[in-house]
Amino acid sequence: MLRWVRQQLGFDPPHQSDTRTIYIANRFPQHGHYVPQKFADNRIISSKYTVWNFVPKNLFEQFRRVANFYFLIIFLVQLMIDTPTSPITSGLPLFFVITVTAIKQGYEDWLRHKADNEVNGAPVYVVRSGGLVKTRSKNIRVGDIVRVAKDETFPVDLVLLSSDRVDGSCHVTTASLDGETNLKTHVAVPETAVLQSVANLDKLVAVIECQQPEADLYRFVGRITISQQTEEIVRPLGPESLLLRGARLKNTKEIFGVAVYTGMETKMALNYKSKSQKRSAVEKSMNSFLIIYLIILLFEAILSTILKYAWQAEEKWDEPWYNGKTEHERNSSKILRFISDFLAFLVLYNFIIPISLYVTVEMQKFLGSFFIGWDLDLYHEETNQRAQVNTSDLNEELGQVEYVFTDKTGTLTENEMQFRECSINGIKYQEVNGKLTPEGFSEDSPDGNRHSLMKEEELFLKAVCLCHTVQINADQTDGADGPWHANGIAAPLEYYASSPDEKALVEAASRVGVVFTGTSGDSMEIKSLGKPERYKLLHVLEFDPNRRRMSVIVESPSGEKLLFTKGAESSILPRSKSGEIDKTRIHVDEFALKGLRTLCVAYRRFTPEEYQEVGKRLHEARTALQQREERLADVFNFIERDLELLGATGVEDKLQEKVQETIEALRLAGIKVWVLTGDKHETAVSVSLSCGHFHRTMNILELVQHKSDSTCAEQLRQLAKRIKEDHVIQHGLVVDGTSLSLALREHEKLFMDVCKNCSAVLCCRMAPLQKAKVVRLLKTSPEKPITLAIGDGANDVSMIQEAHVGIGIMGKEGRQAVRNSDYAIARFKFLSKLLFVHGHFYYIRIATLVQYFFYKNVCFITPQFLYQFFCLFSQQTLYDSVYLTLYNICFTSLPVLIYSLFEQHVHPHVLQSKPVLYRDISKNAHLGFKPFLYWTILGFFHAFVFFYGSYLLMGEDTSLLGNGQMFGNWTFGTLVFTVMVITVTMKMALETHFWTWINHFVTWGSIVFYFIFSLFYGGIIWPFLHTQDMYFVFVQLLSSGSAWFAIILIVVACLFLDVVKKVLYRHLQPTSTEKAQMYSNRVALSDEFIALQPLSRARNQLSKISLLRQVQVSTAWTPCAASQLGKQQAHLLEECWSE
């Protein structure tokens, strides 16, 4: 119980040791010195709150916001001193905002609790006391032996002990962790693999030592010590022995494993930890505006206090006959009275700070984010995937992007590999009709005849078939004939691979005669031209990004020990001592120039002595608990040397649909595109040219293959000089990973100057952290541009998290990028609509929302300030307390919220077809100082018109009622308030371009509601109110024809200048957005409009629209560009699209 309390409070001490010792089946040593380690239980907790901490924790988080804390202080001041308004006027709106936010956050957390309880309560089977015991997932402890059946998910991180197969292997899919749908093979150590029954496992005495939990899904270092009679056997444990929580068991009846990491210490839970909070530019502007309005508030309160005392300096006003002072007031301290008066004025004017702004913005972001998921234009039918929003806090940031950083493979390309060419022993080959044909040689032999392969060709294809991690569908590996039917035609094998390159190569080899037919135990089986061969798999040297290669050591049917290696040419060619190295290097460069992905293949023969040394070194490195990775890297380098080069492969990765158009649209929108890829220089440049990132007319500058600071700096200076001297409109820059490291070390400013003068930048040979560094470099530059990173693989996660906006592509490289992104889309082409339409709308909506909120609160509180000049600064309130409370909550809240959800100031099709309109909103244009000043001055102007318009009407003791009575101060305040509610609502109506029935309902409904509420509120004597100041006031006001005339006149006077300004600016100095509005009104014909036309004309309009839908017209469209459509279509387009 005490440990649980300490855990909840966060005081539970961390593990002291670097490793953990796990006794299988919790058989602890019997000697008294052993102190068991404490491990987390198996509960998954994704929720933020508990029943006990919800109220204090949620209140603390909410009062960290400036506006909420400010209103709390105002509320406390109203409770402590005698203020002109009731504490309810501040307390009720604050309570409303806090309650709404708490309910929203509480509901979201309740859903998380519900999901957690479902996971934690799932039934599992554990080996205890010699039998299988059914329990709940949350009850599993570290050391328990767990049984998992086929198609079940693993409830904890398990070390595999045995399976229903003799070799102790099993297949799993990790789709829920990294999105990879291929089957991955995991194996148990031989000593436990034979323990396939519960009774045998219950007798197992073994200890596992492994590293403490870490988030890396692909790293695990440990060893198992098995006690057998008198000896202890030590075996290494790696990622191939670890079954991760969330993964699913496939093609295996059942497995037994021991729990090593539980609950929040599992790799899945460690990967789901919350990311650092990103804040949008709009939120920062909002906070700046709040501070300015706080200064205005303090100025008004100080000025009012000073003027009050200046006025009271005259004897007759200090203590007038009708308002005498009490004895206490006469004797009180002047300083205390001054402070008290200052605080009273602060309370009186406090509504200039809009408390409901935060909750409205939060609701707008939350509800508005659904539109992205609902957009059918962002739905990809082939994969049945729609866009998803992981955070709604950055919606408007999509409209402010200045730099796009994109990965290449899987983002710009399909990540669907197709074998195109290869080089074997210095000769280039292509695949023609399922045969390997030397370049320039065509073979007309019929498809049925299989030509024999040369020795070098066969060895090369065997290397390709053996050096990989490809799996075969279990249903196809059975049967004596393997993949060949009796008639000699190959039956297609279904391969699964974690790398699309490997799959493409193995499939290509099978088509030309060397077929990988599967694994059996520790053997790999192939068929070379129908002849079966079995190779014993001795060791796998796994691929890693630093080595950029993978290897296998196999024993051939003749007993020879062979090493087969494949990898990037930069990691294979320097390690090769024989073979056609120079010719192959030339061929690799030629493949890269065609945009193909290249791999080199080599091999090495071991003598018995060499192999013995290799086996010994590998065993020592793999059983090491400390620095295992470093030791393995040294051993791998020792093994993978003195290679004999066999050849190279060229695989094509097809470009995604509409990539070129999307990149061109981004460029027209003023967005600079940087491609960051791990591919080699030539391949990356070729793909950049084919996707339109680089133009053929562009001057391409290079900063590559630099090894020292001095040469890199000199090259940068030369590039900067060339950019100044060349009169080329556009420059493109290519930089590689090593040169980039040197450039960022000491020449950051020079490098940035060169980059900013280039319209396109390509960074190749990039490590994942280098991608993030480049994004950070741009992000923190003096201009502070808004950055967007888009990628599909785990190697893009750091870049996605670093950028202001991170977008994941739902591709074939897993779901890690999607999981860590802010938004996820299925294809790169969807980026244009996401930015140009959704981003544009979200930014315009929230910019108007924020400015309008400040405007309506200036309108609200300035008459209150002006009224003090007419009441001797006595802190008399102009409005009734109920009106003060409900102004922001009820009377003016809905029209702006609905506007911020539905507004479309330009037709979406026009926004997408004219990317140049995106420039109008860049650099936070609508929330800059000028628009802020305009809205603020407009607010003060309208407030002056409200107040003085009403004053002129009612001044000089004018009788406005039929019985000769005059209006009192409450009627005057109500008149000002009525004019204000109507004017600010009508102002919102003027700003609205896109009217739906909901807009009409809330706009006119808000005004109607105000009148009905006021009649109801003033028509009844409310028993729970201390005073009945408003009784019959509103009815009396509306019974005066002069008051009606004043309301209409003042509203028109306020809005007339605004309308005139809009009309003049739109016709004399229209912005490109305003031109587009007129343009979209002409082109975008609605169904309702067509329905009103005569039938013949409607048919004509519909035929025009159907033709327009067939044609994608770019911003730079001209009639010439559509020449292929024919003269009639060109004429139609010119007629419809010309401005």
Residue with tokens 């899945």: 268
Phi, psi (degrees; rounded to nearest 5) at 86: -70, 150
CA atoms within 13 A on the CB side of 800: 26
Identify whether the C-beta of residue 790 lies closer than 8 Å to the C-beta of residue 406. Answer: yes
CA atoms within 13 A on the CB side of 464: 34
Residue 604's SS3 state is: strand
Beta sheet of 731-736, edge-to-edge order: 388-389, 823-825, 805-809, 787-791, 403-406, 672-676, 760-764, 731-736, 699-703
Give kind and range of the element (H or E) at residue 180.
none
110: amino acid identity, one letter: W
Question: Do the strands 787-791 and 805-809 form a parallel or antiparallel pair, or are they unpaired?
Answer: parallel
Strand runs (DSSP E) across 589-730, as ranges? 596-606, 643-655, 672-676, 699-703
Identify whether the C-beta of residue 165 lies closer than 8 Å to the C-beta of residue 185. Answer: no
Structure tokens at 909: 């099709």
Is position 407 annotated as part of the catalytic site?
yes
Q: 251: left (phi > 0), else alpha (psi -120 to 50), else beta? A: left
Handedness of CA 1016, 1022, 1025, 1026 (dihedral sign): positive
Structure tokens at 505: 């190569």
Strand runs (DSSP E) across 179-253, as ranges? 184-187, 206-211, 222-228, 231-237, 242-243, 248-250
Integer Cα distance of 286 and 629 in angstroms = 49
Strand runs (DSSP E) across 728-780, as ranges? 731-736, 760-764
CA-closest candidate to residue 410, choices 711, 654, 154, 612: 654
Integer Cα distance of 735 and 743 in angstroms = 10
Identify whether the C-beta of residue 176 lies closer than 8 Å to the C-beta of residue 153. Answer: yes
Identify whether the C-beta of residue 878 lies closer than 8 Å to the C-beta of residue 864. Answer: yes
CA-closest candidate to residue 438, choices 489, 510, 529, 512: 512
CA-closest candidate to residue 236, choices 624, 636, 634: 624
CA-closest candidate to residue 1002, choices 890, 1124, 1093: 890
CA-closest candidate to residue 1029, choices 868, 876, 858, 891: 876
Identify whether the C-beta of residue 160 lies closer than 8 Å to the C-beta of residue 255. Answer: yes
- Which candidate in 178, 407, 501, 796 is catalytic? 407
CA-closest candidate to residue 241, choices 150, 170, 183, 147: 170
Identify whether the C-beta of residue 344 lies closer than 8 Å to the C-beta of residue 350. Answer: no
Separate counts of helices (H) and strands (E) for the chain? 42, 35
Give kind and range of the element (H or E) at residue 612.
helix 608-623
Residue 31's SS3 state is: coil
Query: Which residues touch 684 (CB under 8 Å, ≥6 apart)?
Result: 408, 675, 677, 734, 762, 764
Cα separation of the two ends of the chain: 75
Identify whether the C-beta of residue 185 lies closer than 8 Å to the C-beta of residue 498. Answer: no
CA-closest candidate to residue 983, choices 1074, 863, 1070: 863
Integer Cα distance of 272 and 274 in angstroms = 6
- Residues annotated as catalytic (active site), given as ranges: 407
